[in-house]
Amino acid sequence: MVYYPKSDALNRLPKQFFADLVVKTNAEIARGSDVINLGQGNPDQPTPPHIVKALQEAAENPLYHKYSPFRGYDFLKEAIAGFYKREYGVDLDPKTEVAVLFGSKTGLVEIGECLLNSGDTVLMPDPGYPDYLSGFALANLHMEKMPLREENAFLPDYGSISESVLDKAKLMFLNYPNNPTAVTAPADFFEQTVETAAKHNICVVHDFAYGALGFDGEKPRSFLQTPGSKDVGIEMCTLSKTYNMAGWRVGFALGNRSVIEAIELIQDHYYVSLFGAIQEASAKALLGPQDCVRDLVRRYETRRNAFFTAARDIGWEAVPSRGSFFGWLPVPKGFTSESFFDYILKEAHVVVAPGIGFGGAGENYIRVGLLTEPERLTEAVKRIGELHLF
């Protein structure tokens, strides 16, 4: 057999940090341990029944058995615009300011190819969602990190970034509610972002994957609620978390018309849009009853409260999550985030995600997924507490 080497672009792809952790976790499960896995970010609840029913009924429509329009059906784009008007008071032109994505991950990876050239500079939050790096590698971009530190509420400090870096940067990634730190962003931060982006001609990409998931009565802000935001960037959203539709792969990009056109153009060459029945069911999810979303937020808040109350009881001090379905906690003294992962997997049969996997500024923290019921979450903390690390 002839061996055909991979392209330079594929060879630039980062190593999947969490793949090794999955191997270790599966090995512990294979030994018969009752492992509580809090290391993943996969929603654990089913898609609401009325959305599933909408898909089942739409799948019988022979129109959808043909190719969909390349850029998606107008009715879905109109539903997305209607959703944003209802939820955030944001006006969007469905024809020019909305693009349908195969899940927001696709848009986040392809945006570098859409707007930048080899060697161009992109600003990356640290810690941040690891798959941003995949897009940087494929487009051969130069990355500058923006540290997210607890003393600055896990927000980038634009004043600490040199003017030369800001002048070179052409793209900036942000993500609030944040994965992994589970914080939200206030209005004045987004105002600073628009001001900084406009001054330095940087396109902002706000990853709003967890936009529906805010706690303590706080509704997370959309970047597009900020005056001037559509002049300098876009927001990417997904149905994966809001409606437990992760496997359906439905996302959308919204905002600056030139960026939306670039995304639509690249996708003209990559895809022939989503299955029409999925688009119809997605539109009904966005425009239909939202009780399921409110119930989901209450479920995650109940889990958050149970977990952080239990953590406080064992002396594990951390700020409770403000949004997303994650928790972000410091590791005890004497451990790195990886060694803490290894220790509690072996001794407590609990899996967490080491913060170093999200970037250098994530060291000394771990991320937990609030993706199991409160009883299992408190059991996980109880097991860790019995190791007397705090």
pLDDT, position 17: 80
Mean pLDDT of 349-363: 95
pLDDT for 378 beyond 90 = yes
Half-sphere exposure (Cβ direction) of 234: Cα atoms closer than 13 Å: 25
pLDDT, position 77: 98
pLDDT, position 20: 81
Could you tell me what percent of the chain has a pLDDT over 90? Answer: 94
pLDDT for 329 beyond 90 = yes
Mean pLDDT of 284-291: 96
User: Rg of the chain over CA atoms, in angstroms?
Assistant: 21
Do residues 158 and 192 touch, judged by C-beta distance below 8 A?
Answer: yes
Q: How confident is the model at residue 330 (pLDDT cuts 50, 70, 90)?
A: very high
pLDDT for 117 beyond 90 = yes
Q: How far is CA 26 from CA 92, 121, 176, 350, 358, in A?
A: 46, 38, 31, 12, 21
3-class DSSP assignment, residue 386: coil
pLDDT digits 0-9 by tens, 44-90: 999 999 999 999 999 999 999 999 999 999 999 999 999 999 999 99
Residues 6 or more apart whose Cβ sits within 8 Å of residue 162 = none
Do residues 353 and 327 touch, judged by C-beta distance below 8 A?
Answer: no
Determine which of 18-27, 34-43, 171-180, 373-382 has the lowest per-residue pLDDT on average. Answer: 18-27
Determine which of 23-27, 189-193, 215-219 has the lowest per-residue pLDDT on average. Answer: 23-27
Q: How far is CA 163 from CA 20, 58, 188, 200, 254, in A?
A: 38, 53, 21, 9, 28
Q: Which two tokens stand for residue 310?
A: 């239990």
pLDDT, position 19: 81
Do residues 344 and 352 touch, judged by C-beta distance below 8 A?
Answer: yes
Q: How far apart are CA 232 and CA 280, in angstroms?
A: 31
Write down all domains in the chain, each with its CATH number in brackets: 8-46+292-385 (3.90.1150.10), 49-287 (3.40.640.10)
Which pTM does this prediction carry?
0.95
Give 39-82 as a DSSP string.
S-----SPPPHHHHHHHHHHTT-GGGGSPPPTT--HHHHHHHHH
Q: How confident is the model at residue 15 (pLDDT cuts 50, 70, 90)?
A: confident
Scan for tokens 């939050």, then name that residue: 125
Q: How far apart are CA 210 and CA 233, in angstroms?
A: 18
Mean pLDDT of 332-338: 95
3-class DSSP assignment, residue 371: coil
Q: How far apart are CA 349 and CA 383, in angstroms?
A: 8
Residue 323: DSSP 8-state: B
Tell me the pLDDT of the chain averaged across its residues: 95
Give the closest residue to 369 by CA, choosing from 283, 246, 285, 274: 246
Length of the chain: 390
Residue 244: DSSP 8-state: S
The sheet with strand 233-238 has its strands ordered as: 98-101, 251-255, 233-238, 203-207, 169-175, 121-126, 142-147
Mean pLDDT of 183-197: 98
pLDDT digits 0-9 by tens, 219-266: 999 999 999 999 999 999 999 999 999 999 999 999 999 999 999 999
Helix 276-287 vs helix 74-88: crossing angle, to nearest 10: 20
22 vs 300, higher pLDDT: 300
Alpha carbon of residue 4 to chain centroid: 34
Mean pLDDT of 314-343: 96
